[in-house]
């Protein structure tokens, strides 16, 4: 039995990688700042991987329905991976939208 991690969540590792420090910044000030490009690229990768997992789950379901596969476990595993990735992507989207609305409601 092959157990593999959900690949839709691996793209978020790029969010936690350190960004090179600019000269003159004291490393003891706190964690390094993440630039917007890095965060945006990770979000785009997350959406792409979620879409890939959804397509794989659909393909497994079709193969099982047509009788090309007799292993229901693979269908359920692919479906659960896709479901978890979609829930996680939705949670990220919701957080982003709440942050955007907070910023837009700020008075300057």
**CA 84 to CA 1: how far, in whole Å?**
20
Predicted local confidence at residue 34, as pLDDT: 74
| pLDDT tens sequence across 91-102 | 989 998 998 899
DSSP 30: S
Q: Supply the pLDDT for residue 80.
A: 96
- Reported as a single tens digit per residue, the pLDDT across 6-61 is 555 455 455 445 445 455 555 566 666 777 778 778 888 999 999 999 999 999 99
- Report d(CA 9, CA 84) in Å as an integer: 9
The predicted model scores a pTM of: 0.61
| Residues 6 or more apart in contact with residue 41 via CB below 8 angstroms | 14
């Amino acid at each position: 039995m092959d157990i593999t991690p959900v690949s839709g969540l691996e793209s978020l590792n790029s969010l936690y990688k350190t960004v090179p420090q600019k000269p003159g910044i004291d490393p003891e000030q706190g964690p390094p700042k993440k630039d917007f490009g890095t965060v945006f690229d990770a979000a785009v990768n997350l959406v792409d991987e979620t879409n890939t997992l959804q397509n794989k789950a659909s393909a497994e379901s079709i193969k099982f329905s047509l009788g090309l596969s007799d292993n229901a476990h693979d269908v359920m595993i692919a479906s659960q991976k896709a479901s978890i990735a979609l829930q996680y992507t939705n949670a990220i989207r919701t957080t982003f939208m709440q942050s955007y609305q907070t910023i837009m409601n700020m008075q300057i």
